[in-house]
Amino acid sequence: MHEDIVRTRAFAMPLTSPAFPIGPYRFHNREYLIITYRTDPQKLRELVPEPLQVDEPLVKFEFIRMPDSTGFGDYTESGQVIPVSLRGRKGGYSHCMFLNDHPPIAGGRELWGFPKKLANPTLRAEIDTLVGTLDYGPMRIATATMGYKHRAADLASVKAALQEPNYLLKIIPHVDGTPRICELVEYYLEDIDLKGAWTGPASLRLWSHALAPLAELPVLEVVSATHILADLTLGLGKVVHDYLAGSEPSRQKGRAHELTK
C-alpha cells in the first residue's frame, strides 16, 4: 500500500476497517433522563479543569437511550455532566460517561475526547416510572427514577439548554507515554427536533466504585428532573484551549523519541 493511499484513507483505526464511519452523526428518537442534583462544591471544583469555571455546585446525571444513530447503531449511555461557564458563556463539561457499544466509545474518544468507558447502562419505562440504571461489570453503581411524564416541561427552555456549548478534555498520549494532545474541545448539538419534554418527581442513588467514581460527587439534594425525546445531530468540535501550548518539554520529549527510532 503506497504512502499516498495511507494518507488518503487515514481517518480512524484500523486503517482498512475503521471502528466508526465518517459523520455526520444523526440520532433519531434520542431519549434522555437528566437528574440535576446539588453536590459538594469543593469536590466539584477539584474535578473541573481551568479555564472552565463552576458557578453553582450542581451536577447533571444523564441516562441517554439511542435506538437509532448513524454509524453507531443502538446503544445506551450514562454519566455526569457539570454545568460550567467559559468566558461568561454557560455550558456543560462531560466529567465521565459509560456506555455499552464499542464504535461510539472509540469514535467519541478519538474525535471529540468524550471520557467514555465500557459499562452497562439502561433506560426504560417500568409501569408508571422512568428508570435508569448503570452497572459497571456485575456491580450497580447508579439508579435513577422519575415519575413518567407527570408534567410537560417548557420546550423553549429545554431546547435552549440542549443548544448550549458542551466541553470535553481531549487527551491523546504520544507513543512514549507523554501527552501529545491535551485540549479543551467545544461542540454543539445541531438540527434539534425536540419532540417532547416532561418533568416530575425524581430520585438518584450512587454507589462507590474504584474505577467508576461517580459517588465522588455525592448527591446532597435532587434539584430537578427532565425527560426528553428528540432527533438531533452530534456536531464535530473545535479546540478552545490547548494545555500544551506553552509546554515545549513534553512535546520535545515525544519528538526526540520519534527521531531515535
pLDDT mean over 199-218: 97
C-alpha cell at 84: 460550567
CATH code of the domain covering residue 135: 2.40.400.10
Other beta carbons less than 10 A from residue 26's beta carbon: 16
Three-state DSSP at 243 gives coil
C-alpha cell at 82: 457539570
Q: How far apart are the C-alpha atoms of 98 and 142, rounded to whole Å? A: 11
C-alpha cell at 113: 475526547
How much is the pLDDT for 251? 47
Whether 9 is in a domain gets the answer: no
pLDDT tens digit sequence for 117-172 = 999 999 999 999 999 999 999 999 999 999 999 999 999 999 999 999 999 999 99
Q: Structural domain of residue 49, as residue ranges?
A: 23-242
pLDDT tens digit sequence for 21-36 = 999 999 999 999 999 9
pLDDT grade for 246, boundaries at 50, 70 and 90:
confident
Average pLDDT, the chain: 94
Looking at the 3D structure of the chain, how many domains does it have? 1
How much is the pLDDT for 260? 40
Whether 248 is in a domain gets the answer: no
Whether 151 is in a domain gets the answer: yes
257 pLDDT exceeds 60?
A: no
Active site residues: 116
Whether 147 is in a domain gets the answer: yes
Whether 176 is in a domain gets the answer: yes
Whether 252 is in a domain gets the answer: no
Whether 250 is in a domain gets the answer: no
Eight-class DSSP state of 114: -
Whether 257 is in a domain gets the answer: no
How much is the pLDDT for 111? 96
